[in-house]
Amino acid sequence: MKKWLIPVIIIAILAIGGYSWGKGFNNTAVQLNENVSEAWGNVQTSYQRRNDLIGNLVKTVQGAADFERGTLEAVVKARAEATKPEININNAEDLSPEKLEQFNQAQSGLSSALSRLLLVVERYPDLKTNQNFLKLQDELVSTENTINTARTRYNEAIKPYNIHVKEFPNTILAGMFGFDDKPYFDAEVGAEKPVDVDFDFNK
């Protein structure tokens, strides 16, 4: 064998090995990133469902005579604020811990406003027997549970992705291929529990 073939063969082997490593890393990262995107989409869908239900709830409550205007306005305002934060899960600058926290705070503000509204409702007998209102009760409880599940599954999808892109030597390729680690959905203290939407007026 000619001596000049030895370095050529070594270079070829390294090139093939590097290509296989890069291809394997990229394909796995793409798959894990898609799982994260799907999980985040479910989070957003769940929150949108809650926003829609709250909108219907507000319309139902508005029919009650002399209902506290300030309480309703607070819910409407909080609902509008909750729809403002927009996060692109695949944009590293957009999906930052700060923006995720803003999103979380906006949703928490809506939860607080909703809780205050439901406390006030107890003083209105007509609302306690309103069939539309009672139906919204069940749907809100179900949606709050769905939100909690969606947030948990989002974090579960984040973990394998972050491990993959942050482990050495994968971290070398992560920067080259544009795969940055993503922040977890860190709820505020007590926010991991569904909003109290207990409408059992017979207690």
pLDDT in tens, 8-50: 777 888 888 888 888 889 999 999 999 998 999 899 899 999 9
Residue with tokens 């007509």: 126
pTM of the model: 0.75
CB atoms within 10 A of CB 186: 13
Which homologous superfamily is 5-177 in?
LemA-like domain (1.20.1440.20)
Distances (CA, A) of 52 to 9, 64, 67: 64, 20, 21
Q: Which residues contact 66 (CB under 8 A, 6 or more apart)?
A: none
pLDDT in tens, 66-125: 667 788 888 889 988 888 877 776 665 667 778 888 888 888 888 888 888 888 877 777
Element (H, E) at 132: helix 131-166
Please state which of the ranges 52-56, 89-93, 111-115, 188-192 shows the lowest mean pLDDT. Answer: 188-192
Q: How many residues are given for the chain?
A: 203
* Closest C-alpha among 155, 178, 160 to residue 93: 178
pLDDT in tens, 111-142: 888 888 888 877 777 777 788 888 887 898 88
**Distance between CA 199 and CA 133 in Å, rounded?**
9
The full set of domain ranges for the chain reads 5-177
Name the DSSP class of 199.
Answer: -
**Distance between CA 191 and CA 100 in Å, rounded?**
14
**Distance between CA 192 and CA 148 in Å, rounded?**
7
